[in-house]
Amino acid sequence: MSGNSFGLLYCVTSFGESHGPAYGGVVDGCPPGLALATTDIQRELDRRKPGTSRHVTQRRESDTIELLSGVYEGRTTGTAIGFLIRNEDARSKDYSAIAEKFRPGHADYTYLQKYGMRDARGGGRASARETVVRVAAGAIARKWLGERYGVRIHGCLAQLGRTPIPFQSWDAVDQNAFFAPNAGMVATLEKQMDALREAGDSCGARVNVVAKGVPVGWGEPVYGRLDADIAAAMMGINAVKGVEIGVGFGAIVQQGSEHGDEMSPQGFLSNNNGGVLGGISTGQDITVSIALKPTSSIRLPRRTIDRHGRATTIETTGRHDPCVGIRATPIAEAMLACVLMDHALRHRAQCADVTPPLAFPPGAQGSKR
Amino acid sequence: MSGNSFGLLYCVTSFGESHGPAYGGVVDGCPPGLALATTDIQRELDRRKPGTSRHVTQRRESDTIELLSGVYEGRTTGTAIGFLIRNEDARSKDYSAIAEKFRPGHADYTYLQKYGMRDARGGGRASARETVVRVAAGAIARKWLGERYGVRIHGCLAQLGRTPIPFQSWDAVDQNAFFAPNAGMVATLEKQMDALREAGDSCGARVNVVAKGVPVGWGEPVYGRLDADIAAAMMGINAVKGVEIGVGFGAIVQQGSEHGDEMSPQGFLSNNNGGVLGGISTGQDITVSIALKPTSSIRLPRRTIDRHGRATTIETTGRHDPCVGIRATPIAEAMLACVLMDHALRHRAQCADVTPPLAFPPGAQGSKR
Amino acid sequence: MSGNSFGLLYCVTSFGESHGPAYGGVVDGCPPGLALATTDIQRELDRRKPGTSRHVTQRRESDTIELLSGVYEGRTTGTAIGFLIRNEDARSKDYSAIAEKFRPGHADYTYLQKYGMRDARGGGRASARETVVRVAAGAIARKWLGERYGVRIHGCLAQLGRTPIPFQSWDAVDQNAFFAPNAGMVATLEKQMDALREAGDSCGARVNVVAKGVPVGWGEPVYGRLDADIAAAMMGINAVKGVEIGVGFGAIVQQGSEHGDEMSPQGFLSNNNGGVLGGISTGQDITVSIALKPTSSIRLPRRTIDRHGRATTIETTGRHDPCVGIRATPIAEAMLACVLMDHALRHRAQCADVTPPLAFPPGAQGSKR
Amino acid sequence: MSGNSFGLLYCVTSFGESHGPAYGGVVDGCPPGLALATTDIQRELDRRKPGTSRHVTQRRESDTIELLSGVYEGRTTGTAIGFLIRNEDARSKDYSAIAEKFRPGHADYTYLQKYGMRDARGGGRASARETVVRVAAGAIARKWLGERYGVRIHGCLAQLGRTPIPFQSWDAVDQNAFFAPNAGMVATLEKQMDALREAGDSCGARVNVVAKGVPVGWGEPVYGRLDADIAAAMMGINAVKGVEIGVGFGAIVQQGSEHGDEMSPQGFLSNNNGGVLGGISTGQDITVSIALKPTSSIRLPRRTIDRHGRATTIETTGRHDPCVGIRATPIAEAMLACVLMDHALRHRAQCADVTPPLAFPPGAQGSKR
């Protein structure tokens, strides 16, 4: 399996470049019989779509998905689900001026050195627009996880640059352009983004994702751990530089008497471990937090070199998200959904005959078997 | 590929339990012709070995490796390298009292619920003693990476609980029982550990790992990214709860004008990205930082339940590391070595015919091609 | 990796159904820099295309390929190559009468029982039309293998029903509608097919494939053998029931003194082994022979059951190849190309630093290193 | 996954050389709770063991297996099962005379050219003694398949050189040293082998394997087909040159009206397809036939070259099976068991929620769901 596929049993393969004719993907391994309409996927794509507010890239893409296979009379057949999303607003001329230079923080340099050539138009394969495929694959996973196991996945923007966003409710998330879980913060965030845009700069962000209702037992020791696969999926999102499960880096300063989640007949008494112990889900919420670096494409001039190695400067004037973290929320949710679905299938392959011996009362942390 | 193997081309398979007869592993995909003696591996195993100071578990294991295949007349043959490490000091009676209870923070509960049964002796397969296999596999990778590409991998303890350990030199690391890169800190760390041990508690830690001399171009977009695979490898180490590449979570509060690493004809001017851009190595140092949770096995009493779901308490009196992070340094180095070797092989499979067009002066950040 | 992908490093993923909107595929792992035009692929697709003579299905498909990614300015970029082939002449009404019955020899029954449902239109995913994706992927592999290593792949129809076709020349193959390597046989074959068609019956066939110029050393012991992967690739072609390498089943009646290919300073003296020893290519021609069963869709009435398990009969009147083996030649060539390319990449991943110690004179059997 | 592992979910990894200290393996993915004793495996190993009659190699190996992990209190735990089989009667001196020459029909030449070096002792990694690992892995698969699904796997010698062995009963197979399903043929076979041994020559063989009781629905279209994976597993056995499913090459001369297996409310009316349609099991017997080439190590002198490319001759006087096909029966059974178990797990991963709509009466061909 080469680098454009992921997942062992729920296997997603992706292709496409930012300024090529289309993105597309293949989802393999989906169980048969899932009711699946184009709208189920389109809904998630629309959440990720560019141009929805002035705070994200103004590239105009409808991101309309065409389902090409694997669904018959409204249900998945168990065969490969192929889909296509045409690029509609690729302006290659935007990039002509910078094809000769390496944009700091971008993959321009590494692609050229690895492959000896590169498609410089809009970042080519390295463009974050590729995440459209992940969101589509995640939408299918999410639907199946929800219907089959009652799993629900939520994500939100937890911090924008230096501004933490106190969590208020998941309901708030889809009510604003920032995926902020707190309506009261929106004005502040807008002001912050306007200032950044005016300055021609960009900022980083933190996104949190939670999966609720995951049964105990998903994930394989020792190398196929659920947390390890989540870490890979998250670090594999463009611009992500850090991943935490549960308390994450906060665990460094905890003592064992504080960190280790105690148990009672009513379930777990805390969730420092973020719903994973020994690489296996505990039945508690799976909590993940990721760090996204500031957008590398900024208007401010930066020192760089051209493809002949000569010193120069660069200003990036294309249409970019001043904070890539804003649109990362649906992407991180999708990646979590894909990993969970892969492990749901892997778990039942090996352990379909096992009934977990213990049960907690409904509603308790860890109650899900 | 099930959960006890990792790596696509440099593929490591592991087996063994804490109180079974032995651990062992198979390293598949190693190029032929590498000079390899048992001592090359034993040296790394000795660094990880328990019982080397009063600050780690007092279990007495020589961790002697027996090479069973894949090496002939002192050189690797290109076939699978099998090896065995017998358990010598397994005291199953230590665990008899706790076989019926779930230790908070441990995988006892999740293993039982996933598999319907568990080997409770010393944590069974979930024991951190499994990392002996990783260190052995990493020792081989490290040797090949060093001889073939000049790659050097260093790790150190960067923080012990609330005590940061300022970096002084890599040379200091192997001069003390903590893998601390700073001799002047050792007395402080010893005092801290003595207090913890006396209190019957444990603490978390941060470990940093760096790979120097990695050529530009390793890693595959989009899902087989070098950073994604590093994240999985690190999060897959027992007790790890967070992974950062480069500035990691620090990227949240940076602006694009600060974060994006500028370039000059002499190379990169900074390394916020930690040596990876677009999932591909830049030729700079690859910098990784991980958070380890405090040891879950502590003497202090904790609330839990027994296997029938009844409330009880537990005190863990076996031989444990009061801070698992201390011995994590050679393990993290080993995992980084394995991932890099896998990607070295993957890269040359696809790009053997590519000469990277650009070169920086020797010694510059990013000079390696 | 689920069932719609194959290949470890040259990885082909396929989707599409016979009467859905399109077939498509993703080729991942192709080295960068290969000159690749749509015509390079179209040429091979045209060889497989239906409707080229009265002896194959009269379905009218142009099989026009649209390249969607992975190629920039006429060269592969090293990223995933996505492509699409629209279905143009799907007549679902042809199948309405048989949607309720299981066609003997077809996958109708097994798909329904496996998935609990099926897309009955034209066989859905089980249609041999899926091989269009394999031929496209094989065309790319073939081009690379030819340019990089001088590998040439030939295939031909070796037997049609009871009629063996004596080999005359590879040049003859593309001069007739049967891929027969013997122009003098064409009239006989036409007569035979006309009779079959008139009778409403079908026949089996043998197809031979040869790869010339494969260097010594491709293939991995013990389970990733070149011959094992070829066997899987061939048996995975619709209707194939047998695979031979070298003398194949003829080896049963040979003695060791006859079978074992002797060697001389001028190279191998025979090729009973078909160019593979110990799972590794010898540098000789790789010779493969496959058996294809007669087309299952025939006009003659056959006993079967309907989806409620009741006895009935069926006559298949759609547009079908009276001998699927005829169009199998380009498919078998394509599969061999894909396997060889995968192993070329795998070999250089592990053994890029090895120079084979021995050389035979140019032109000798086994001369290629 | 490199070349010493096979299976996606029931994953077998193998190591060891003919004259190294030991063979060993790791079986990953076995469901928990299977009762498994060393004797369950030893029984199968004893069937494959050398030295059981004068007609096979006289090397004296007890092939005693040591289980190292994955089993606790007599049951599998769901973690990796590691095992070891020490070599006891390796006589490296036997091979000293031939280390410098390439034995015709052996992998000596290809290993040297691929890896630049080789372990010449007894064929090193290429020795058929490696199959001991497969038989051990197969024994576990077989037990699970039998207990969980009622699958029974039988194999027998169907032809020895030019002598076909008419099938009489499976019971006869383990009553003679040839795995012949016909007691009346044993004297003939013994005479034939004595003559061969005296002549210093060897012969080929055909082995048939059947799996009974496989439920309908195992196997994945399009590339993960059950028949394709069986073909790879069989062709990957040392000395195998051909694989057939069902009527195999006999399908070439059948017409569709004869080949396509008709159905009735009582089940399938024939089994030309060998229990697989569209890559998916039909519920009928899965029938496989393989061709094994004559042993390459013979006493008769043969022309070859030495490692410097100079002409020479070779006579192989070590302890060898005059017909490797004889001991291939338990190996082929084991490989079939491993493939079936892998697909059993893969099938229930994706289709655990599907109930096959149709059922045939018990005992009918295809009755198993």
Counting residues of chain C whose pLDDT is more than 70, the rounded percentage is 97
Identify any residues that bridge with A61 across adjacent strands, giving them in sequence order.
Answer: none
| Chain B positions in Cβ-Cβ contact with residue A129 (cut-off 8 Å) | none
CB contact under 8 A, D26 and B20: no
Q: Where are the beta strands (DSSP E) in B135-226?
A: 152-160, 163-164, 205-212
- Residue C341: which H helix or E strand, with range? helix C328-351
D126 in reach of chain C (CB within 8 A): yes
Number of domains within chain C: 1
For residue C209, how many other CB atoms are within 10 A of its CB?
A: 25
For residue D364, how many other CB atoms are within 10 A of its CB?
A: 17
Q: Which of residues 6-35 of A touch C (CB under 8 A)?
A: 8-11, 13-17, 20-24, 26, 28-29, 32-33
Over residues B330-347, the mean pLDDT reads 98
Here the tokens at position C89 are 């002449």
Closest C-alpha among B242, B327, B349, A28 to residue C12 = A28
Kindly tell me if the per-residue pLDDT of A168 is higher than 80: yes
Closest C-alpha among B261, B291, B290 to residue B275 = B261
pLDDT per residue over B266-319, tens digit each? 999 999 999 999 999 999 999 999 999 999 989 999 999 998 999 999 988 766
| Chain C interface disruption, residue of A8, A9, A10, A26, most C CBs within 10 A | A26
Q: Which chains pack against D, by 3+ Cβ pairs within 8 A?
A: A, B, C
Look at residue C25 and tell me if it is in a domain.
no
B345 in reach of chain C (CB within 8 A): yes
Closest C-alpha among A108, A105, A79 to residue A18 = A108
Identify the band that residue B92 occupies on the pLDDT scale cut at 50, 70 and 90: low
Look at residue B8 and tell me if it is in a domain.
no
Which chain D residue shows the shortest CA-CA distance from B26? D15
Domain of residue C326 covers: 89-351
Length of chain C: 369
| Chain D interface disruption, residue of C109, C111, C201, C312, most D CBs within 10 A | C109
| Chain A interface disruption, residue of C13, C83, C96, most A CBs within 10 A | C13
CB contact under 8 A, A79 and D221: yes
**Which single residue is written with the structure tokens 């076939």?**
B79
Q: What is the pLDDT of residue A318?
A: 66
Sorted by sequence, the CB contacts under 8 Å of residue A283 that are 6+ apart come out as A214, A215, A216, A275, A360, A365, A366, A367, A368, A369, B113
User: CB-based burial of residue B152 (10 Å sphere; 0-12 exposed, 13-18 middle, 19+ buried)?
Assistant: middle
Q: What is the pLDDT of residue C317?
A: 76
CB contact under 8 A, B241 and A236: no
Strands A163-164 and A152-160: antiparallel
Which among B235, B274, B304 is the nearest to A262, CB-wise?
B304
Give counts: helices (H), strands (E), chain A. 8, 18
Closest C-alpha among A76, D191, D17, D314 to residue B76 = D17
pLDDT per residue over B130-181, tens digit each? 999 999 999 999 999 999 999 999 999 999 999 999 999 999 999 999 999 9
- CA distance, residue A233 to nearest chain D CA (Å): 20
CATH number (domain holding residue D221): 3.60.150.10
Q: How many CA atoms, within 13 angstroms, populate the side-chain half-sphere of residue B358?
A: 32
Look at residue B295 and tell me if it is in a domain.
yes
Q: What are phi and psi of B336, to 5 degrees?
A: -65, -40
Identify the band that residue B49 occupies on the pLDDT scale cut at 50, 70 and 90: confident
CB contact under 8 A, C248 and D241: yes
CB contact under 8 A, A114 and B217: yes
- Residue A15: which H helix or E strand, with range? strand A11-16
Q: Please report, for residues A54, A60, A91, A195, the alpha-carbon distance to residue A319 in angstroms, rounded to integers and kept in the order given.
A: 11, 10, 10, 17
Strands D65-67 and C276-277: unpaired
Sorted by sequence, the CB contacts under 8 Å of residue D369 that are 6+ apart come out as C113, D215, D216, D217, D283, D356, D358, D359
CB contact under 8 A, C249 and D296: no
Here the tokens at position D160 are 């020895």
Question: Are residues B181 and B173 in contact, defined by beta-carbon separation less than 8 angstroms?
Answer: yes
| Chain B positions in Cβ-Cβ contact with residue D1 (cut-off 8 Å) | 1, 5, 8, 11
Q: What is the pLDDT of residue A123?
A: 84
Strands B71-72 and B163-164: unpaired
Sorted by sequence, the CB contacts under 8 Å of residue C255 that are 6+ apart come out as D161, D196, D201, D202, D203, D204, D294
Which among A12, A115, A291 is the nearest to B249, CB-wise?
A291
Q: What are phi and psi of A325, to 5 degrees?
A: -65, -25
DSSP annotation of B217 = T
Over residues A34-41, the mean pLDDT reads 97
pLDDT per residue over C2-32, tens digit each? 789 999 999 999 999 999 999 999 999 999 9
Look at residue A72 and tell me if it is in a domain.
no
- CA distance, residue B351 to nearest chain C CA (Å): 6
Look at residue D38 and tell me if it is in a domain.
no
Per-residue pLDDT of chain D in tens (369 residues, 90 and over written 9): 678 999 999 999 999 999 999 999 999 999 999 999 999 999 999 998 877 777 777 777 888 999 999 999 999 999 999 999 999 876 666 666 678 899 999 999 999 999 999 888 888 999 999 999 999 999 999 999 999 999 999 999 999 999 999 999 999 999 999 999 999 999 999 999 999 999 999 999 999 999 999 999 999 999 999 999 999 999 999 999 999 999 999 999 999 999 999 999 999 999 999 999 999 999 999 999 999 999 998 999 999 999 899 999 999 876 677 898 999 999 999 999 999 999 999 999 999 999 999 999 888 888 887
Name the residue with higher pLDDT: C361 or A94: C361
Cα–Cα distance, D157 to A198 (Å, whole number): 81
Sorted by sequence, the CB contacts under 8 Å of residue C1 that are 6+ apart come out as A1, A5, A8, A11, C11, D8, D224
CB contact under 8 A, D354 and A32: yes
| Chain D positions in Cβ-Cβ contact with residue B17 (cut-off 8 Å) | 69, 72, 79
ipTM of the complex as predicted: 0.97
pLDDT per residue over C32-64, tens digit each? 999 999 999 999 999 988 777 777 777 778 889
Strands D163-164 and D205-212: unpaired
Which among B126, B222, B304 is the nearest to A263, CB-wise?
B304
Cα–Cα distance, D82 to B16 (Å, whole number): 7
| DSSP per-residue letters across A203-256 | B-EEEEEEEESPPTT-S-SSSS-HHHHHHHHHHTSTTEEEEEETTGGGGGG-BH
Counting residues of chain B whose pLDDT is more than 90, the rounded percentage is 82
Name the residue with higher pLDDT: A97 or C308: C308
- CA distance, residue C75 to nearest chain A CA (Å): 9
Q: Please report, for residues B361, C29, C92, D254, the alpha-carbon distance to residue C234 in angstroms, rounded to integers and kept in the order given.
A: 51, 21, 29, 20
Question: Are residues D258 and D245 in contact, defined by beta-carbon separation less than 8 angstroms?
Answer: no
Which chain C residue shows the shortest CA-CA distance from B344? C349
Sorted by sequence, the CB contacts under 8 Å of residue A352 that are 6+ apart come out as D31, D348, D352
Q: Please report, for residues D181, D196, D319, D355, the alpha-carbon distance to residue D56 in angstroms, rounded to integers and kept in the order given.
A: 18, 12, 9, 47
Cα angle value D257/D259/D265 (rounded, 5°): 85
Kindly tell me if the per-residue pLDDT of A299 is higher than 80: yes
Look at residue D71 and tell me if it is in a domain.
no
Q: What is the pLDDT of residue D230?
A: 98
Kindly tell me if the per-residue pLDDT of B209 is higher than 80: yes
For residue C183, how many other CB atoms are within 10 A of its CB?
A: 14
Cα–Cα distance, A178 to A190 (Å, whole number): 9
Over residues A186-196, the mean pLDDT reads 95
pLDDT per residue over C116-162, tens digit each? 998 888 889 999 999 999 999 999 999 999 999 999 999 999 999 99
Q: What is the pLDDT of residue D319?
A: 66
Over residues B213-240, the mean pLDDT reads 96
pLDDT per residue over C287-312, tens digit each? 999 999 999 989 999 999 998 999 99
Sorted by sequence, the CB contacts under 8 Å of residue C6 that are 6+ apart come out as C12, C232, C233, C236, C338, D223, D224
Cα–Cα distance, B42 to B63 (Å, whole number): 8
Look at residue D57 and tell me if it is in a domain.
no
Decide: helix, strand or coil at residue A11. Answer: strand
| Chain A positions in Cβ-Cβ contact with residue D26 (cut-off 8 Å) | none
Kindly tell me if the per-residue pLDDT of A297 is higher than 90: no
A77 in reach of chain C (CB within 8 A): yes
Look at residue A6 and tell me if it is in a domain.
no
Identify any residues that bridge with B313 across adjacent strands, giving them in sequence order.
Answer: B303
